[in-house]
Amino acid sequence: MKELLNDAAARSLRYLESLSERPVAPSPGAVTALRAFDTPLSPGPTDDRETLRLLDEVGSPATTAMAGPRFFGFVIGGSLPVTLAANWLAGAWDQNTGLFRPTPGTAYLEQVALRWLLEVLRLPPGCGGAFVTGATVANLCGLAAARHAVLARVGWNVEADGLFGAPPVTIVIGAEAHPSVTKSLGLLGLGRTRVVKVPVDGQGRMRSECLPVISGPTIVCVQAGNVNTGAFDPIAEVCASVQPSGAWVHVDGAFGLWAAAAPTLAHLVNGISSADSWATDAHKWLNVPYDSGLAFVRDPHALQAAMAITAEYLPTQSDQRNPGDFTPELSRRARGVEVWAALRSLGRSGLADLIGRNCAQARRFAEKLSAAGFEILNDVVLNQVLVSFGDADRTKRVIEAIQADGTCWAGITVWQGRTAMRISVSSWATTDADVDRSVAAMVRLNHATA
Ligand SMILES: *Cc1c(COP(=O)(O)O)cnc(C)c1O
């Protein structure tokens, strides 16, 4: 075991050390070579060292350098070194962190991490929280708590009786809501399209003057950080407008919620703490390994009512927090360990620096690309930049050239009818020099693209 794990550590280090110079995307040859994995299932045991060797020699080249400094696709953070180390140790612990009693160490780390998170994200200190796989499931948790609460207020127990015969629930979302919100609504029986859509402005922000008149059980979904522009819905205004009529406000803040941790950006989240539930990711901007998302609910009982589990064989009785009473999963890995390690390592100022630095780097991208003659389609308020290289076809071809070149990686989107390259700066590993090197490659490849 010792030799095997030392070998895994050595191989991991070699991989990580190669990331800043290797092409960001895997070569087509590396992808073809994956066939080496597809052997007939071995009739008996095989050598473990050989299994690891094959994983590294065939698997590592077929990865995208998402953990490296010049991956700007989607919204992808790297892994802070201390979080990868914590992940290895927690893997060795192999704790099934559903219940406190059998796994006090990892369950306790989650309690502390939750308190720290509420502090840095400037959310109400009494919130309930769930450590889940990502913002999709965090949205599901927040909306499940919302569904419980708005129906309980009109005397309906949705966990017991389902939605058959229940009073109707009005769902209000912005026209640019993330698809994970609509997916969660579908899973909860609230319907992906049975929603009232509020029109948005040119940055994707909900126009609060267009909110419907609220009556009866209602959930309003707002967004902190549009996945294309980084823009924030006017959340304080929405809360002030709909909460007096009893509506529940849920915030999808998969990456935008972290603006609260940087004093220079905190104006973006003003008033956000008056909402009722919030979803965010730790695997994006907190830079912990996949998968790691977080849900927070002002009234912990609403979340617990939606998620709690009991059975004779489960030691659920505890005066401590049972993680599995707040999440869709029962058996689960101890995601809070890496979150705790990241926050302890960075401290308040380190986290503020990380968030602020990535936003400054997004502005650096925008300034340099604009100076090179390209159009920036969004107001760069956070870490997202939308770039046009001309018409849709040309922009598409330049992005393909950038991805094939391998200096950096950025994805494609269509923003309000215009094809654009999306740059998302979300990694602890990105330096200003990485931004400059990426801009130089983009300028070069634009010239080379006819
Ligand atoms: C990434 C993202 C999500 C989904 O998060 P996952 O971690 O992929 O589940 C939801 N909303 C927004 C705004 C996002 O950026």
Q: Give per-residue pLDDT as tens, 199-228.
A: 999 999 999 999 999 999 999 999 999 999
Using a 6 Å cutoff on CB, does residue 254 contact ligand 1? yes
Give pLDDT, residue 353: 98
Q: Do residues 174 and 182 make contact, with C-beta atoms less than 8 angstroms apart?
A: no
The number of the ligand 1 atom at minimal distance from the alpha carbon of 223 is 13
Using a 6 Å cutoff on CB, does residue 180 contact ligand 1? yes
CATH number, domain 85-342: 3.40.640.10
Using a 6 Å cutoff on CB, does residue 233 contact ligand 1? no
Using a 6 Å cutoff on CB, does residue 422 contact ligand 1? no
Separation between Cα atoms, residue 25 and residue 411, nearest integer Å:
12
Question: Residues 415-427: pLDDT tens digits?
Answer: 999 999 999 999 9
Average pLDDT for the chain: 97
Question: Residues 304-357: pLDDT tens digits?
Answer: 999 998 778 878 777 889 999 999 999 999 999 999 999 999 999 999 999 999
CA of 134 to the centre of ligand 1 (A): 7
Across residues 25-50, what is the average pLDDT? 98
Using a 6 Å cutoff on CB, does residue 384 contact ligand 1? no
Separation between Cα atoms, residue 253 and residue 122, nearest integer Å:
13
Residue 296 backbone phi and psi in degrees, to 5: -130, 140
Whole-prediction pTM value?
0.97
CA of 227 to the centre of ligand 1 (A): 8
Using a 6 Å cutoff on CB, does residue 225 contact ligand 1? yes
CA of 172 to the centre of ligand 1 (A): 19
Separation between Cα atoms, residue 280 and residue 224, nearest integer Å:
9
Question: Residues 60-113: pLDDT tens digits?
Answer: 999 999 999 999 999 999 999 999 999 999 999 999 999 999 999 999 999 999
